[in-house]
Amino acid sequence: MGGPAGAIIAAVVGAILAVGAAFGIVSSQTASPAPVDKPFIVYGDS
């Protein structure tokens, strides 16, 4: 595998990584703080 096929594979993989990272960054700002079904510690009075 080489030449154009290799270049296409490299471009696709690179794009997937970049788009995936972008989604992760956006989610880190919007998924606050995380999936809601998880427990969290209650600080202060119990």
Partner 1 sequence: MPPAWKRHALLGWSCLLSALVLLPLMAPGYVLHLDMVFVPQQTLLPWNLGIGGGLPRSVPQDALVSLVAGPLPGQVLQKAVLVATLVLAGIGAGRLAGGPRLQQVAAASLYLWSAYLAGRLLLGHWGLLWAYAVLPWAVLAARRARNTGNVWRTTFLCGVGALVPTGGLVLALAALPVALGPGSKVSARMRLAAVGLVALFNAPWWLSAIRSPVSAVSDPVGLTVFGARADGPGGVLGSVLAGGGVWNSQATLGSRTTWFALAAAIAVVVLAVIGWRSRVREYAPEMVWLSVLGVGGLFWAWLSGVAGDQEWARSVVSGVPGGGLLRDGQKWTVFWVLLLAVTAPTGLARVTRGADRSLRVFLAVALALLPLAALPDLTWGGFGRLRTAQYPVAWQDLRTTLAQRQVPGDVLSLPWSAFRRYAWNNSDVVLDPLPRQLTRTVVWNDRLPVTVEGRLAEVGGDDPRAELVSRAIESGAALGPVLSDLGVKWVVVQTDQPAASRPPDLSGIPVVWEGPGLELREIPGEVRPVNPTDPLLVAVDLAALGALIAVGLLAHVTRRDRPGVTSQ
The residues that touch partner 1, with contacts defined as CB under 8 A, are 1-2, 6, 9-10, 13-14, 16-21, 23-25, 27-46
What is the number of residues in the chain?
46
Please, what is the minimum distance in Å from the beta carbon of residue 4 to partner 1?
11
Least gap, CB of 8 to partner 1 (angstroms):
10
Spatial separation of the C-alpha atoms in residues 37 and 18, rounded to whole Å = 29
Kindly state the smallest distance separating residue 23's Cβ from partner 1, in Å: 5
The Cα 22–Cα 13 span in angstroms is 14
